[in-house]
Amino acid sequence: MASNPDAPTLIDRNLSFSIPAKHCRGRAVRLGPVLDEILAAHNYPPQIKALLAEAMCLTALLGALLKEETAQLTLQAQTESGVISLLVCDYKDGDMRGYVQFDAERLVREPLEPSLMTLFGKGYLAITFDHPLPRGRSQGIVPLEGESLTAAVQNYFMQSEQIPTLVRVAIDVEGDQTIVGGLLIQHLPDGEDGKERLHVRMNHPEWEHVEVMGSSVQANELVDPQLPIEDLLWRLFSGSDEVRVMSGKSLVKGCRCNENHIRDVIARFPKEDKEDMVDENGTISIDCAFCSKKFTITSASLNN
């Protein structure tokens, strides 16, 4: 997997696009260095690294559906008796972060490519959209069934949102470098967002055409750092329709932990709770799971 230093804009970005004649919208994402930065926070084994890479790509795709800069998308696995006890990723205006907590001893006894059942047990995937008021929060929950997280997200749109949706994700790992690419396409029969989706047909001729074309995407195309996403979209869909690429956003590691933020959060706790947090040295130690940093706050610096 060779990177192209002369084309930095080809990775760590997402794009929004539409196919007006087919009433379809889509998002395309490719992650590289920002993904490596997130993965490097912990010494993840290959199976967990691949899973988190897939989850981060899905988070970027779903996050790109948000219109408001202050809105946030959170992808979280609720697990039961699986190797993984926690998987959580979020997206806010291009800032991304993700973390996996797992049982390392159990993992080494499992196959190199464990199933979703092995990883999560009887698990569920919660997808939460936090919009500014008055829309507020909305959440959908789907079983972690099938072959991949990608399949679970596609099922979320089909079952919870009842929107014909195609999702594809590919991962390429070479040494310490990882690239993941993804494509999400949806059919909106009314021709625009926001209207009631009445008479949705999963076999609508418009959607069948776009689904076939989108399904033809190859894994190597999604992760090729030298292939502009715009060119890939043109290759897939422009044979019979106009493709409008509307916007793109750079993606960065966006863990929001810092000393001031943590001090503000602790300061909101009741005085008794804060006193319980203080150790014998008069400090409160906080570990950030997302970026693997440790913060030490003195009790004297807090507003008691």
CATH code at position 213: 3.55.30.10
**Does residue 4 sit within a domain?**
no
Query: Pick from 172, 245, 240: which is nearest to 212 by CA?
Result: 240
> What does the pLDDT read at residue 264?
72
State whether 71 and 175 are in the same domain.
yes
Could you give the percent of the chain with pLDDT greater than 90? 58
User: Is residue 143 located within the same domain as residue 249?
Assistant: yes
Residue 197 pLDDT more than 70?
no
**What range defines the domain where residue 272 resides?**
259-301
| Same domain assignment for residues 239 and 291 | no
Whether 76 and 165 map to the same domain: the answer is yes
- Structure tokens that stand for 200 in this block: 């949705």
Buried b (16+ CB within 10 A) or exposed e, 214-246: beebeeebbbbbebebeebbeebbeeebebeee
Q: What's the pLDDT tens digit per position in 139-195?
A: 999 999 888 999 999 999 988 888 899 999 999 988 778 999 999 999 986 544 444
* 94 Ramachandran zone, left/alpha/beta (phi>0; psi -120 to 50): left
Whether residue 108 lies inside any domain: the answer is yes
Task: Clarify whether residues 287 and 170 are in a common domain.
Answer: no
Query: Between the CA of residue 178 and those of 36, 70, 76, what are the distances in Å?
Result: 6, 29, 22
Say whether both 270 and 197 belong to one domain. Answer: no
Give the mean pLDDT of 58-78: 94
- 110 and 245 inside one domain: yes
In a domain, 106, yes or no: yes
Same domain, 225 and 202: yes
**Cis amide linkage into residue 134, ω under 30° from 0:** yes
Do 143 and 281 belong to one domain?
no
In a domain, 3, yes or no: no
Whether 186 and 157 share a structural domain: yes
Q: Output the pTM of the full model.
A: 0.85
Q: What is the distance between the alpha carbons of residues 67 and 77, in angstroms, rounded to a whole number?
A: 24
**Pairing label, strands 24-31, 72-78:** unpaired
Answer with the residue of higher pLDDT: 262 or 132: 132
Domains contained in the chain, number: 2
Note whether residue 126 is domain-resident: yes
241 plus 264 within the same structural domain: no
- One domain for residues 104 and 38: yes
